[in-house]
Amino acid sequence: MASASGTVCGVCETQHVVKEAAFWCPECEEGICISCEKHHRASRGTRNHQVTSVNNYKQIPPIIASINQYCPGHDKKYQHYCSQHEKLCCPLCITTNHKKCDLLAIDEIVKTSKNSALFEIMEQSLKEMKNNIERIVEDRRQNLEEIKQQRQRFQTNIKEIRNKINTHLDKLEQEIQQDIQAAEQKAMAQIDRFVLKVSDHGKTIDELQNNISATRSFATDLQIFFGGKMFEAKIQKEEEYMMSLIEDGSLQQIDLQWKMDDKMSDILSMTKIGDISVITKPPTITMMLDRGKQAQQMVQKIPKTINDINLSILNKFEISKGEKVINIRYLSITGCTIMPSGKIVFVDKTNNRLLIHNEDGLFVCEIPLSRAPLDVTCIDENTIAVTHNIAPYHIEIINIVNKKVVNQIETSSQCYGITTERGRLIYYEAGSGIQTVDVNNKSTANTVVKDDYGELWNYVTTSEDKIYRTKNASVACYTVTGQTVWEYKDESILKSVSGVAVDKDSNVYVVSNANKSIVVLSPDGKEARRLLAKENGMQEAYSIYLDKGRNFLLVTSLRGTAILYNIE
């Protein structure tokens, strides 16, 4: 695309006259001098063109200015926008690559671009992120001051002790002072590196704010429309970075800790005055990232123990028998999941299908499947994966919008529980154990936890780099590389265990089928407690699902009743 920098009038140039341009026409893609602009404004073919001054055009970000009015492949003016591929289309593009796509007329969709709420939302999001960065930096500075005060307090205490004892403490004091200095330097260096890293993102946000402001003020409607999507992608990336600060522990409080040695009562037997270490505590700030979505907060939290947990019923409904009511005697619900939109997907094993309800429990549709489906997991808003335990053994990847199988992953044996984690499927295969395979290709599965015994009806889930598995009368927790972290066995409380879920505090929920109860286990696998039992209406069940974002626990009975609980 021609540059507007040092621009000459394109009309005059065709007449071999060099004249400086005062205006720029994005549709003609050339500069216009003052004289030619009058004719340009009066001409029937160009009077509706949105002309801007060259000075204003120079302020448009290059990535926005490069949005062309004409298709580079066909040299035809863009007339439509393909929402499916998110591309601009000229008439020839439509006939070659977009015959079956849903197309929108550009003239219609750009009318409201400049006044669209998208830019206000993006600008507000950037402001919030900038405020978050400023608050994070201030929080880190306060943390540094607290560390200094802690260091001074520890040194004072040590001095007071040191003045009461003999020369033997001189050597020990020197050693503890060195430990304190090393710990302080380590903590300060860690925070300084983090502050520098976060401040760099502040500069990126400043640049995005300037670019959005310039685009909104001076770009064409088309550039504003298409450029908005570009900015939104970059903003989403910055939002993901903001939220990653929670997951990677960057915002945990750093304190210096000193513990006086128990042997201080026997001075001559002492080998050190105490211990200095750098510890972390939960963040003390709240971070807001809200662009019309539910606010994400970072607050200091006290994890719930299994004795604090209670369930209250939010909704209870019968799972629909679907369109084949006459031919169906009963449902056999063996798997369930909740989509990001709130839709609930159930696996009906006996009748080889999925049943989908909305978040209020109302029936939406059914999707036929190949034989003996067993468990289901959500991959994204429109896609799920389903295991099968009858030959031919495989996992089906299904688009629930068009109700079509988009991929099949072959397995060597019966498959039971399945979950998804970071683009990979994790599932249990009888005779092989816990397997993992990439969602998007048919690569060979890798064994995470080997099992040669051919266990059946094992379910799996993941949480915070841990894998959880149910088998017969036990629940086991593994690392992502397959090492056993813990295993809980107690047939008095766990018997014929199937579905498993984990909440944000790492408490583990399982279905004890034979006991007709829901059991919660502590994060370390040492304690267990019945939350629901047959005495308070619990029925025989296989499937359970926990929606961490909304703190909902979904339990389905084997015969077709679904209950949504709020975890309190």
**Could you give the 3-state DSSP secondary structure of residue 121?**
helix
SS3 188: helix
In this structure, are residues 512 and 518 in contact, taking their beta carbons and an 8 Å threshold?
yes
- In 3D, which of 415, 447, 565 has the Cα closest to residue 501? 565
CB-based burial, 278-289: b 16+ in 10 Å, e otherwise:
eeeeebebebeb
Q: What is the pLDDT of residue 336?
A: 93
Task: Please provide the DSSP assignment of 428-492 as one string.
Answer: EETTTEEEEEETTS-PPPEEEEE--S---S--EEEETTEEEEEETTEEEEEETTS-EEEEEE-TT
Compute φ and ψ for 275, nearest 5 degrees: -120, 140
pLDDT at 243: 86
Contact 530, 517 (CB under 8 A): yes
Query: What does the angle CA 141 – CA 205 – CA 59 come to, to the nearest 5 degrees?
Result: 140
pLDDT recorded at residue 396: 93
Q: So what's the pLDDT on residue 347?
A: 92
Cα–Cα distance measured from residue 374 to residue 452, given in angstroms and rounded to the nearest whole number: 21
Q: Using an 8 Å Cβ cutoff, are 301 and 282 in contact?
A: yes
C-beta neighbour count of 24 within 10 angstroms: 25
The C-alpha atoms of residue 162 and residue 294 are separated, in whole angstroms, by: 55
pLDDT by residue for the chain (568 residues), tens only, comes to 344 447 889 889 888 888 988 898 888 888 899 889 888 988 888 888 888 888 888 888 888 877 778 888 888 888 888 877 778 899 999 888 888 887 888 877 776 566 555 666 677 778 888 888 888 888 888 889 888 988 898 888 888 876 776 667 677 778 888 888 988 898 898 888 888 988 888 888 888 889 888 888 888 888 888 888 888 888 888 888 888 888 888 888 888 888 877 766 676 666 777 788 888 777 766 665 554 443 333 333 456 788 888 888 888 998 887 665 445 666 788 999 999 888 999 999 888 899 999 988 899 899 999 888 999 999 988 899 999 988 889 999 999 999 999 989 989 899 999 999 878 899 999 989 999 888 876 667 888 888 877 778 899 999 888 999 998 889 999 988 788 899 999 888 888 888 999 998 899 999 888 778 899 999 999 999 988 877 666 777 878 999 887 788 888 887 788 889 988 8
DSSP category for residue 304: P
The pLDDT of residue 48: 82
Kindly state the DSSP code that residue 253 receives in the 8-state scheme. Answer: E
Containing H/E element for 16? none
196 class by beta-carbon count within 10 Å (0-12 exposed, 13-18 middle, 19+ buried): exposed
Amino acid letter for position 513? N
Cα(224)–Cα(204) distance, integer angstroms: 20
- DSSP annotation string for 432-446: TEEEEEETTS-PPPE
Tell me what pLDDT residue 296 has.
37
Beta-carbon contacts of residue 203 (< 8 Å; ≥ 6 apart): none
Q: What is the pLDDT of residue 4?
A: 43
Instruction: Say which amino acid occupies 353.
Output: R
Question: pLDDT at position 344, please?
Answer: 93
State which amino acid sits at residue 144: L
Tokens 């209250």 identify what position?
A: 312
Distance in angstroms (rounded) separating the CA atoms of residues 489 and 528: 10
Sheet order of strands, 87-89 included: 87-89, 80-82, 103-105
Cα distance between residue 398 and residue 378, in whole Å: 10
* Burial per residue of 310-326, b for 16 or more beta-carbon CB atoms within 10 angstroms, e otherwise: ebeeeeebebbbbeeee
Distance of CA 192 to the CA centre of its chain: 27
